[in-house]
């Protein structure tokens, strides 16, 4: 073993990588950075929605959307069948979950149970910046109630 300041190096052993390590390395190489400027920017009322990670990018188990609510704006009444986590990055507002308000201010995480009606309201004078992560896309409450 070389001591500090010793110029000798330890021997290097060359072995074939384990098959699992090869697959992991291959997956890491296929990952890439997605510039949000190149993504579709969907305007729904006074809300900007950007699909950051979805099936169009090869993600199948969940989706990630960046959403921005203008000051005083709110989402439609929604419901979803899967897991939904909303990260509030900037701003503040209230989560209306089954009609009851829960106030929040960024940074925080909103955990919304499956099957519940909800709405997010921006009560600040600045845009509310959110990141939505879900396993089943939220649908408008009136569509969900009819199914």
Helix (H, G, I), strand (E, B) or coil at 53: strand
| pLDDT (tens digit per residue) in 79-105 | 988 889 999 999 999 999 986 899 999
**pTM of structure:** 0.72
**32: nearest Cα among 60, 57, 63:** 57
Digit-coded pLDDT (tens) for 22-50: 454 444 445 588 888 989 999 988 899 99
pLDDT at residue 94 in the model: 97
Q: Please report, for residues 15, 113, 120, 123, 137, the alpha-carbon distance to residue 79 in angstroms, rounded to integers and kept in the order given.
A: 53, 9, 12, 21, 9
Over range 125-142, report the average pLDDT.
86
């Amino acid at each position: 073993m070389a001591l500090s300041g010793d110029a000798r190096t330890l021997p290097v052993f060359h072995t074939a990588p384990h098959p699992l390590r090869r697959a992991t390395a291959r997956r890491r190489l296929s990952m890439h950075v997605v510039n949000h400027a190149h993504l579709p920017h969907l305007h729904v009322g006074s809300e900007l929605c950007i699909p950051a990670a979805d099936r169009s990018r090869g993600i199948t188990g969940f989706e990630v959307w960046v959403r921005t609510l203008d000051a005083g704006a709110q989402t439609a009444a929604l419901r979803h069948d899967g897991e939904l986590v909303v990260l509030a990055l900037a701003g503040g507002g209230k989560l209306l979950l089954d009609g009851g308000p829960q106030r929040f201010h960024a940074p925080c995480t909103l955990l919304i149970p499956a099957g519940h009606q909800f709405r997010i309201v921006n009560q600040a004078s600045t845009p509310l910046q959110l990141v939505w992560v879900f396993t089943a896309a939220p649908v408008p409450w009136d569509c969900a109630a009819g199914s």
